Amino acid sequence: MHARTLLTIALALITAVAIVWFISSFFVLQDENPRTSLDAPIPVALTVPAVASS
């Protein structure tokens, strides 16, 4: 295998993992994994104004 091919495959895998991790960090509203909800406090920021305004 060529070094450039291996580098391209490695970059593609890293990019894919980064994109999936980034997108999944926005979809922890169902709170099925406590660890990810601690890492991404976005649902808390979304639910607090809704509770305060009602």
Domain borders along the chain are 3-53
Which pLDDT belongs to residue 8? 97
Q: Is the pLDDT confidence value at 45 over 70?
A: no
Give the pLDDT of residue 11: 97
Torsion (CA) 16, 17, 19, 22 in degrees, nearest 10: 180
Kindly report the pTM of this predicted structure: 0.44
> Residue 4 — very low, low, confident or very high, per pLDDT cuts 50/70/90?
very high
28 pLDDT more than 70: no
Contact 29, 43 (CB under 8 A): yes
Q: How far is CA 2 from CA 5, 6, 13, 16, in A?
A: 5, 6, 17, 21
Tell me if residue 29 falls in helix, strand or coil. coil
Per-residue pLDDT, 14: 97
pLDDT of residue 25: 80
Would the CA dihedral through 26, 29, 34, 37 be positive or negative? positive
**% residues pLDDT > 70 (the chain):** 50
